[in-house]
Chain A
Amino acid sequence: MKSRKIRKLLVANRGEIAVRVIKSAKEMGIKTVAVHSDIDAAMPFVRLADEAYAIGPAPAKESYLRMDKIVDAAKRSGADAIHPGYGFLSENDEFAELLLKEGIIFVGPSPESMREMGDKTAARRLAAKLGIPMTEGVIEPVNTIHGAHAIAKRIGYPILIKAAAGGGGKGMRIVRADSELESAYELAKSESKSAFGDDRVYFEKYLDGARHVEVQVLADRHGNAVHLGERECSIQRRHQKLVEESPSVIVDETLRKALTEAALILVRESKYENAGTIEFLVDGDKNFYFLEMNTRLQVEHPVTEMRTGLDLVKEQIRIAEGNKLPFKQADIEFRGAAIECRVNAEDSANDFFPSTGTIAHIGSTLGVHTREDRGMEPGSEVTPYYDSLISKIICWGKTREESLERMSRTLSDYVIYGVRTNLDLLSWIVSHPKFRSGEFSTKFLGDHFTTAKLSQPNDDDRLLATIVCLQEETSRKATKTTGQNGAPKSKWAAMRFEDR
């Protein structure tokens, strides 16, 4: 329980979250080490770190999930701590256990509390014991299709099948009728097996039209814990969050008190340490139900940072060093409203299918009280090996309205060329009247979005596109002749003499 200062931190992750962690570590005077797969060698996070170690080929299984290679890089670099980011090994208790054995600090919870709270069925058991409301469902994994039918009959459709080891929407299936059960069950199991190496799934009642609200917590190993308010993450596609904001429009003081108390009871009872998030569903009558706990830093943590002025990564590092939380609940101030949009490489017009390619241009247009967490730059490749997140844009405002106006403006002026993104979809969401009025649920996209809602070219757009192409076409064919005839007089002069 002795505190130990971290002097060199290895970041066992990539992309925007690696960049984000490295920045905070540097600001604390901590040396930073990046590990990267072969295809990531030229990514910004690798350059930003003080040192970088290649740990294998592109597939995550051969690089970012290789505990042995990461520990080896830590030893070679002399790193005394590892930050896992999110995804990859961040919720892997074996990894935390291994680091403990190797004498390397894991910036996250202990292996025990990871097992207790990170495993979805174990967390549900604890929540049940503590009397925290939950959707109807099973606490134990469902192991046979026979058992699946029996449980489906008991809790009634629609049901949600979830991976016990899960996160990020993987291994998750909604089943609305008996006829869909068998294939959904098998799919969830195999998806879960390939994503987490664990095919246990459990069932719970699916709440149609519910909202996703989560509570951010910080806890030290000395028994101190605080909550940092809620985030609402109801806007999702494929069970993955797209837009997150704080505060939630449906959370009033009474509900906030109940949610944060439930979250802190779970944290204390599981002796949880470091940053964590407790996820709930909230129905139309403001009843809430415990969903699961994420025993790591969340993608959407900047929303909380914008409202509280805290740096969660710095707090994580201080906690991991063994320090006491430097503040009490009453010291936490919540200011205004913040919203985050996840800019993904995906094709909104084609069922959100991931897109790949080389980023040719990024035109950031950030204004005041706006932050961008991005791990890519022009020239960066979006490959099929990793998740599709290109950038997170976070806007703060004195009021929700102001934060949304700021986001709306930022998105509409923001361009990424070379790789298809969901920027247009995000723009549509943020300006949608139902989103503005706060009347939405996890079904928002299903209820309101069709590809026809995406921007279509108008007459001017088509004309401009046409003329640029015509000029390209004719200038390629006419280079010689214009040369002979002297300088052309057209307005396209500048363009003709540029190198291709």
Chain B
Amino acid sequence: MASNGAYRVTAGDKVLEISRTADGGYALNGEVLDVASVSRRGDMISCKFGNKIYDIYLVKNDESSYEIWLNHLIIPVKIEDPLAQLLAKFTKRAHSEDKFEIRAPMPGLITSIRVKVGDTIKKETPVATLEAMKMENEIRSPIDGTIKKIEVEKGARVEKGQRLITIESK
């Protein structure tokens, strides 16, 4: 995760830094937040926060961007995922003239390779899945191009910074 392992979230007009706790909960400034889901029907979620239960309607706008309807409020929420940020940083670093090298942003297990050598792909096409920190992370191509080289297999354990896939730009 990022330096402090926290998510940066913009909710309404404020930015919050939320960290995960060991048991899958959330904390703000080290204080564990007492939030639990009670039930869910489609995008209607009942949540217990402290001792009160709220009905919430969740709208997903696009990647990491949501709208939460809470009573008479509509709160826009934008999540900056530390993992996603890291992935983006690593693929960027591998940039050379006409080649992109995708490297592992963190140690983990390759759970799938979604392309083969010679495939023509579009920017944002998922090329591999890396399991790390109990989460499946999709690794996406940063450019339009052709798969030049694949240096890992499904099931491989990889180290941080290890080269995975090389893509040649068109």
Contact = CB atoms under 8 A, between A and B. Distances in A.
B68 A465 contact: yes
B55 interface: yes
Interface string B8-28: 010110101010100111101
Interface string A467-500: 1111111100111111001001111101100100
Contact of A457 (B25, B39, B56, B73): B73
Interface of A: 360-361, 363, 412, 415, 417-418, 420, 423-424, 427, 455-457, 460-474, 477-482, 485, 488-492, 494-495, 498
Given A463-B28, A478-B136, A492-B36, A468 B68 contact: yes
A383 B36 CA distance: 36
Nearest to B57: A417
Given A464-B54, A491-B36, A492-B24, A481 B136 contact: yes
A363 B24 contact: no
B81 interface: yes
Interface majority SS on B: helix, strand, loop or mixed?
Answer: strand
Given A461-B75, A462-B16, A490-B25, A468 B134 contact: no
**Chain B interface residue count: which class?**
35 or more
B13 to A, nearest CB: 9
B24 A464 contact: no
Interface stretch (B44-52, B89-97, B140-148, B156-164): B44-52
Contacts of A471: 26, 37
A361 B24 contact: no
A474 B19 CA distance: 12
Interface stretch (B58-66, B99-107, B115-123): B58-66
Contact of B9 (A466, A488, A492): A466
Contacts of B56: 464-465, 468
Lowest 9 CB-CB distances: which A-B pairs, in order? A490-B24, A491-B36, A417-B57, A465-B68, A424-B72, A495-B37, A462-B11, A465-B75, A469-B77
Contacts, number: 138
Main secondary structure of the interface of A (DSSP, over half): helix
B10 to A, nearest CB: 9
A344 to B, nearest CB: 14
Contacts of A473: 64, 79, 81
A475 to B, nearest CB: 10
Contact of B135 (A465, A474, A492): A474
A477 B26 contact: no
14 contacts: A360-B44, A361-B57, A418-B69, A457-B12, A457-B75, A460-B50, A465-B11, A465-B66, A467-B33, A469-B77, A470-B26, A481-B134, A488-B24, A492-B36
Contacts of A488: 24
Contacts of A485: 134
B114 interface: no
Contacts of A423: 72
B35 interface: yes
B55 A466 contact: no
A464 B55 CA distance: 11
A485 B136 CA distance: 13
Contacts of B9: 466, 469-470
Given A463-B33, A465-B11, A477-B135, A495 B45 contact: yes
